Amino acid sequence: MPKKLLLIQAFFKKEFIIYRRYLLNSLGGMITLYVVFLLLLGGFQGLRTLTGVEGDTVEGLVVGYVLWFFMLSTYQDVSYALRNEAKEGTLEQLYMSVHGIGWVMGAKVVAAFFINLMLVAVLLMAALVTTGVTVNVDLFSLFPLVVGTLLGSVGIGFAIGGITLVLKRIDSYTQMVQFLLIALVAAPAGRVMWMRFLPCSYGSNLIAQVMVGGQHITQLGLGNVTAMLFIGIGHLGLGYGVYKLCERKAMVQGTLGHY
């Protein structure tokens, strides 16, 4: 098996073990997610602002919420993880990996993404069964759009994680990012051209076109999808660049593993 896959597998196993070992804590998160799905499937509009997806269909609400959930969790999987590893004393070990810290954090994000994906799938299914509601979601179109959108939140995660490495203890500011993510999802990137260049905004706009407009990915236009992916990759690269700059500063100051 290629070494990078082994790394993803190792993170997957680690996350899964912790999830299972601290089941009571994990159950709390699962119940919350399940209740949110019940509310969304019941047509509860209170979460509409959070979802950012235009239109008031049940599908739109669910997909918008799931998108925001993934954006928040991928952001946290990078920025909070860097902070926590520094706090626990294991960040320096990650740095000494033969894979390099970029790949290590990438593997962690991918592993966490798949765990969250399984969780969301199971809980959504359970909520659908409970409510008796059926949703019509074009997964084939949505999956690449969601992945492209999440590149931006990973980039934000790297940038914030890097700033945390240098400044330390800025938790109250990093928590504000979750509100920023809501604003990014809700930004009218379809109408305002420059907003397409904001992290995650263009992707969430394209997702809205699939969900509300009922379009298939092939109808969105290859140029639009490619542009969205390139913008996502750009934000990822930019975030990683900020991270490397901060990492360099922390290495000069000798504070890399401190918190």
Partner 1 sequence: MIRVESLVKTYPSRKGKPPIKAVDDISFSVAAGELLGLLGPNGAGKTTTVKMLCGLIRPNSGQIVIDGKDLTQRRIPALSKVSAVLEGNRNIYWRLTARENLEFFAALKGLNPAHVRGDIDHYLELFNLTEKANVEARKLSRGMQQKLAIAVALISQSRVVLLDEPTLGLDVQASYEIRQLLKEIVHDQGRTVILTTHDMNVVQDTCQRVIIVNEGRIVADDSVHDLLDLFRVRVYKITIQGVLTPCQRASLLDMEQVIIKEESPERTSISVRLEESQVLYGVIGILGSNNSLIESIDQEQNNFERVFLEIVEGGTQGA
Report the interface residues with partner 1, using CB under 8 A: 1, 3, 6-7, 9-10, 13-14, 17-18, 21-22, 88-90, 92-100, 104, 248, 251-254, 256-257
Residue number, 181 or 256, with CB nearest to partner 1: 256
CB of 93 to partner 1, least distance (A): 6
CB of 239 to partner 1, least distance (A): 21
CB of 14 to partner 1, least distance (A): 5
CB of 28 to partner 1, least distance (A): 17
Residue number, 126 or 170, with CB nearest to partner 1: 170
What is the rounded (10 degree) CA torsion for 43, 49, 53, 59? -10
CB of 174 to partner 1, least distance (A): 22
Residue number, 96 or 222, with CB nearest to partner 1: 96
Tokens representing residue 151 in the block: 């590149």
CB of 84 to partner 1, least distance (A): 11
Pick left, alpha or beta for residue 135 (phi over 0 → left; psi -120 to 50 → alpha; otherwise beta).
Answer: beta
Separation CA 158–CA 230 (nearest Å): 18
Residue number, 57 or 255, with CB nearest to partner 1: 255
Kindly tell me the burial class for residue 24, based on how many C-beta atoms sit within 10 Å of its own C-beta (0-12, 13-18, 19 or more). Answer: exposed
Residue number, 199 or 257, with CB nearest to partner 1: 257
